[in-house]
Amino acid sequence: MHSTLIDNRFLGSLFSTDAMRAVFADTATLARYTDTEIALARAEGRLGLIPSEAAHTIAEQAHQVKLDMARLQRETHNVGYPILPLVHQLAEGLGAAGKYLHWGATTQDIMDTALVLQIREGLALLEQDLRAVAVQLRRLSHTYRDAPMAGRTHLQHALPTTFGLKTAIWLGMIERNLERLQQLRPRVLVGQFAGAGGTLASLGDRGLEVQAAMMRELGLGVPDTTWHTARDGLAETAQWLGLVTMSLAKMALDVSLMMANEFSEVFEPFVQGRGASSTMPQKRNPISCEVMIGAAKTVRHLAGLALDGAVQDFERATGPWQAEWVALPEAFLHTAGAVSQALFMLSGLEVDTARMRQNLDSTGGLIVAEAVMMGLAPELGRNEAHDVVYSACRTALESRRTLAQVLKSMPEVTQHVSAERIDFLCDPINYLGTAPQMVDKALQLPAH
């Protein structure tokens, strides 16, 4: 049965990726549990806490033990956790060495550490794709550095900008998320080995030594203290996934609006039939954008669930831990889908600079009313210039003339500014401010 959106055989490929599904698949989870048990056995064998022969056998054969999945499912349902059922089967398959498996560990040690291994792999996949997204945004920013378009505030024309600056702003979000990723890794990629009560009491005075050796085996950080119920690292990971999908959704919202017929400034890549309607043949719906926006909403809720799940009682939680089993894997899976859709969209984004210029000119120069005001301010004063231009804008709208035409008919303007100067001030291309230079600054920033 394939009952979730992620696993759905005809929708799943839209909302996640095969690579991320492989990281969090049930078989992969069992493999990471086994990796953790092997690392513990190797560490203890090297330190003489269990026979080195037993440690070698565990390391060499644990992954070869054929698991009875029906039995594992049945026993997990009964126990409530998968580790004891898994250890039983592994121990049976390992012969005499099996009695040294899971030495001094507790269930949560194995599950937490395995999750961290999956997080490490998931973060690596996301980093790779986010860097590819950044490459596409750098390309777009460079190509359209000087491409003028209408900047919009409150969905209305505000001032001219360039499409290159718009994509450079998107790039900044991605670069900052990559920077955050490097900062969170040392806090998050830390293993768990603390024993039943979080004190490693079962290993006497060798507990911390085993812990350090085990983490070296796995290439993970060594915890300063037990984090069985201190879940800030996992919660931080979920918040980072929320930030990534939020950034992608901002891009998606902009693109989906610019795809509207009234704008028609950019379009997702054309693929025959993509975004088609079952009844309206003219439709070209923003499919990638919709998936990215939907993913951001989903991950935002999962990030909240991770925060809620981090509030845990005493030394072992009664319920919140299980909430993490939902929040972290699903957040990774939806984020992977969103990043994949972003990469597809940006790699073939169709940009219509002619339509951008047409839209920019559609208000007859009203978009550069501020430029005219600032041009008149030295002569009239800033407030008087504002009132004059405000009146000119109202007249232009009511009479359906351009702002330049109206200004040229106003003596209070023409006695201070020539017709040629009015034409210059009313041309949006002359009022891009430092937009191109901001793009240059963004492109000079080192990639994280």
Q: Does the pLDDT of residue 256 top 70, yes or no?
A: yes
| Euclidean distance between CA atoms 30 and 36, whole angstroms | 10
| Euclidean distance between CA atoms 176 and 385, whole angstroms | 41
Candidates 117, 123, 188, 185; CA nearest to 339 is 123
| Euclidean distance between CA atoms 211 and 221, whole angstroms | 10
Candidates 205, 209, 180, 211; CA nearest to 193 is 211
- What is the average pLDDT across 207-231? 97
In the chain, pLDDT over 90 holds for what percent of residues? 85
- What is the average pLDDT across 419-438? 93
| Euclidean distance between CA atoms 205 and 157, whole angstroms | 70
- Residue 257 is predicted with a pLDDT of 96
- Residue 176 is predicted with a pLDDT of 97
pLDDT digit string, tens, across residues 345-378: 999 999 999 999 999 999 999 999 999 999 889 9
- Residue 278 is predicted with a pLDDT of 54
Contact residues for 357 (Cβ-Cβ < 8 A; gap 6+): 148, 149
Contact residues for 129 (Cβ-Cβ < 8 A; gap 6+): 336, 339, 340, 343
- Residue 337 is predicted with a pLDDT of 96
pLDDT digit string, tens, across residues 85-103: 999 999 999 999 999 999 9
pTM equals: 0.93
Question: Which residue type occupies 14?
Answer: L
- What is the average pLDDT across 252-261? 96
Which tokens go with 374? Answer: 């600032």
- Beta strands 148-153 and 156-162, pairing class: antiparallel
- Residue 279 is predicted with a pLDDT of 63
Candidates 153, 151, 170; CA nearest to 161 is 151
53 bridge partner residues: none
- Residue 281 is predicted with a pLDDT of 55
Cα angle, residue 261 at apex, residues 257 and 263 outer, rounded to 5°: 55
Question: Which residue type occupies 81?
Answer: Y
Active site residues: 154, 277
What percent of the chain is helix, strand and coil (3-state, nearest 5)? 70, 5, 30
